[in-house]
Amino acid sequence: MSRFPVNHVRYFNLVLNSLIELHTSFVTLPVNECPYEVERNKKFYPYFNDVLGAIDGTHIFAPVPAEHLGPFRNRKGQITQNVMAVCTFDLQFCYVLAGWEGLAHDGNILNNALDKGFIIPDGKYYLCDAGYGLRKGCLTPHRGVRYHLREQYQSRYR
């Protein structure tokens, strides 16, 4: 038995289908040239001239039927779904994959996105967190290295 009335499920499906219809109008894939935000910043250019954007995941509350709670319980014990989002340097979302269980690993979600048509062009890459692992097309931080400590310290005084 679902925890939601039938009307809620119907409206959710209507909204979801509307978003699927509108995605071609609002979702654009990044171009294969150096982003303007990288090119104009001396700290980033030429080191990040082949970067297309960033990939990260987030956990969103997911009300699910009681018989499916197990896989949706994340490592913090909350019932969530794991959502992977890809955005460009101008803060535009270019790919979103939602609906994975909270227990799902970020690397598995990226593998599924690549199987479903998400493409990382040869010679280009995305900035990712360590959860996506070191793979072609993903630049992840080194394990055990704490980055930007000086910048974080100075930002407290701005």
pLDDT tens per residue, range 11-38? 777 877 787 787 777 766 656 677 777 7
Q: pLDDT at position 117, please? A: 86
pLDDT confidence of 45, banded at 50, 70, 90? confident
Instruction: Give 92-105 pLDDT, tens digit per residue.
Output: 888 898 888 888 88
Average pLDDT, the chain: 79
- Of 55 and 16, the one with more pLDDT: 55
- What residues contact residue 130 under an 8 Å CB cut-off, 6+ apart? 140, 141, 143
**Residue spans per domain, the chain:** 28-155
Mean pLDDT value across residues 120-132? 88
Instruction: Return the ∠ at Cα 90 (arms to 128 and 26), rounded to 5°.
Output: 100
8 A C-beta contact, residue 85 and residue 93: yes
- Range scoring the smallest mean pLDDT among 79-88, 90-99, 147-156: 147-156
Q: pLDDT at position 152, please? A: 66
pLDDT confidence of 61, banded at 50, 70, 90? confident
37-41 long-range contacts (CB < 8 A, ≥24 apart) are: 37/89, 37/90, 38/89
Residue 55 scores a pLDDT above 90: yes
With a pLDDT cut of 90, the percent of the chain lying above it is 8
* pTM score above 0.75: no
